[in-house]
């Protein structure tokens, strides 16, 4: 069992030798450092969200309204942070949420591969986006022994969707995460102000441009006419007419675990389960899609409705304490988006690993010092509401 708290001891001892940490430890510090390094419009694309951005601020603020109640002398010197998900035991409850522009966030523009390497090294699974700068075959190979997931944006071209799913299977991904909340793009004032959207300029379309079905829809190969390929992407990307009736088709495409991302209402959970879905992913897309409420406020209702089906969660997780709170509210695994994205900006694989180490050290110490030795000991009863 890894002792994640050792990371903090390591930082103090390195300090004795005159070394300070390579990257900022707080989310605010990561965001500021990443902003200083990034092209302005790419930074705004990552940092920004829907409308007046109150949803993304609310996602973060909502965690402050929960407190963890400490227990003493409970024998929590050794902690077990492992979780079981679809037959695999992962060393920690964290996962890397899909980021569709990750590819171009690192200096070398191989951010998906850099993140996959961090996943391979840490055992923290990556949910690889449909929108990658390197094709899924390469990213899947870079995941090593850490089973990862492929996130599917269901295109309005069924044959293309089928090709994506079958390629993901062949690439070694161990589950398909279908994102439901982005069948069209939300209203994002920052991007509108810059009048820019990365994919329209050809970024992170490798899964499309490498796909035989997608290529067959083009008059000229994407290498010859990338602008036409990006335009074709915009025409195929979303499927506004997808409904629950289409889930039988999606379910029929693969025997891999199938998860639905963006579920926030308890009544949507039984519909998903009736359709043969294996996992629920509660998320409001980090507040990037539409004005809503803090995603963590939806989690307990979704968990209750799931009746034992795994529930993944993301949106607003910024600290190890947030990770523990989401677990206590019933999440099976907890995702992070922007925090590791900024790690990738600052240091590629090493930056992502650093961010994970910080979150895991804090989560581990938060559990230990509050007297909880395993995730199984966390429940809503360990939390109190802070007015």
Ligand X SMILES: O=C(O)C(=O)c1ccccc1
Asked if residue 119 binds ligand FMN (CB under 6 A), the reply is no
Can you tell me the distance from the alpha carbon of 325 to that of 137, in angstroms, rounded to the nearest whole number?
A: 35
Is residue 285 flagged as an active site residue? Answer: yes
State the nearest-atom distance from the C-beta of 344 to ligand X, in Å: 15
82 binds ligand X (CB under 6 A): no
Give the nearer residue to ligand X in terms of CB position, either 204 or 363. Answer: 204
Shortest CB 288 distance to ligand X, Å: 4
The residue within the footprint of ligand X, chosen from 59, 182, 207, 236 (CB under 6 A), is 182
Report the residue number, 314 or 353, with the smaller CB distance to ligand FMN. 314
> Which one among 3, 199, 210, 239 touches ligand X, defined by CB under 6 A?
199
Show contacts with ligand FMN in window 128-167 (CB under 6 A).
129, 131, 151
Is 131 a binding residue for ligand X by CB under 6 A? The answer is yes
How many residues of this chain interact with ligand FMN, rule: CB under 6 A?
24
Spatial distance between the Cα atoms of 125 and 299, rounded to a whole number of angstroms: 21
Q: Is 55 in the site for ligand FMN (CB under 6 A)?
A: no
> CB of residue 262 vs ligand FMN: minimum separation in angstroms?
8
Using the rule CB under 6 A, which residue among 317, 334, 345, 375 binds ligand FMN? 317
Buried b (16+ CB within 10 A) or exposed e, 214-230: beeebeeebeeeeeebb
Rounded CA-CA distance 339/318 in Å is 7
- Closest to ligand X by CB, 22 vs 227, is 227
103 is an interface residue for ligand X by CB under 6 A: no
Q: Does 239 bind ligand X (CB under 6 A)?
A: no
Residue 205 as a binder of ligand X (CB under 6 A): the answer is: no
- Token pair recorded at residue 114: 């850099």
- 77 CB burial (10 A radius; 0-12, 13-18, 19+): exposed
* 62 vs 375, beta carbon nearer ligand FMN: 62
What residue 359 binds from ligand FMN, ligand X, none (CB within 5 to 8 A, per partner kind)? none
Is the torsion defined by CA of 141, 143, 148, 150 positive or negative?
negative
Residues that bind ligand FMN (CB under 6 A): 46, 59, 97-101, 129, 131, 151, 179, 261, 283, 285-286, 288, 314-317, 336-338, 341
Per CB under 6 A, residues contacting ligand X are 100, 131, 182, 185, 199, 285, 288
- The residues assigned a catalytic role are 285
């Amino acid at each position: 069992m890894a002792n994640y708290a050792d990371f903090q001891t390591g930082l103090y001892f390195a300090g004795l030798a005159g070394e300070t940490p390579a990257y900022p430890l707080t989310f605010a510090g990561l965001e500021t450092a990443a902003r200083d390094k990034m092209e302005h419009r790419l930074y705004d694309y990552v940092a920004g969200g829907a409308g007046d951005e109150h949803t993304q601020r609310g996602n973060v603020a909502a965690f402050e309204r929960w407190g963890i109640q400490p227990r003493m002398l409970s024998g929590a010197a050794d902690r077990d942070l492992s979780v079981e998900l679809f037959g695999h035991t992962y060393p920690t409850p964290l996962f890397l949420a899909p980021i569709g522009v990750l590819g171009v966030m690192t200096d070398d523009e191989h951010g998906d591969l850099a993140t996959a390497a961090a996943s391979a090294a840490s055992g923290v699974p990556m949910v690889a986006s449909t929108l990658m700068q390197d094709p899924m075959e390469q990213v899947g190979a870079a995941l090593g022994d850490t089973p990862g997931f492929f996130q599917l944006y269901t295109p309005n071209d069924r044959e293309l969707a089928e090709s994506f799913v079958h390629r993901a299977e062949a690439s070694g991904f161990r589950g398909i995460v279908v994102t439901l909340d982005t069948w069209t793009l939300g209203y994002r004032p920052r991007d509108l102000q810059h009048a820019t959207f990365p994919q329209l300029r050809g970024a992170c379309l490798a899964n499309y441009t490498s796909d035989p079905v997608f290529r067959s829809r083009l008059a000229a190969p994407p290498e010859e006419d990338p602008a036409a390929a990006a335009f074709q992407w915009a025409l195929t990307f979303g499927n506004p007419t997808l409904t629950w009736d289409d889930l039988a088709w999606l379910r029929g495409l693969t025997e891999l675990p199938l998860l639905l991302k963006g579920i926030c209402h308890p009544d949507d959970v039984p519909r998903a389960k009736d359709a043969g879905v294996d996992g629920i992913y509660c998320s409001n897309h980090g507040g990037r899609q539409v004005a809503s409420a803090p995603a963590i406020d939806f989690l307990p209702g979704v968990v209750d409705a799931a009746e034992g089906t795994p529930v993944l969660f993301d949106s607003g997780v910024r600290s190890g304490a947030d990770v523990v709170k989401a677990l206590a509210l019933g999440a099976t695994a907890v995702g992070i988006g922007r925090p590791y994205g900024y790690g990738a900006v600052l240091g590629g694989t090493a930056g992502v690993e650093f961010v994970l180490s910080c979150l895991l050290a804090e989560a581990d110490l938060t559990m230990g010092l509050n007297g909880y030795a395993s995730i199984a000991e966390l429940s809503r009863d360990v939390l109190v509401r802070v007015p």
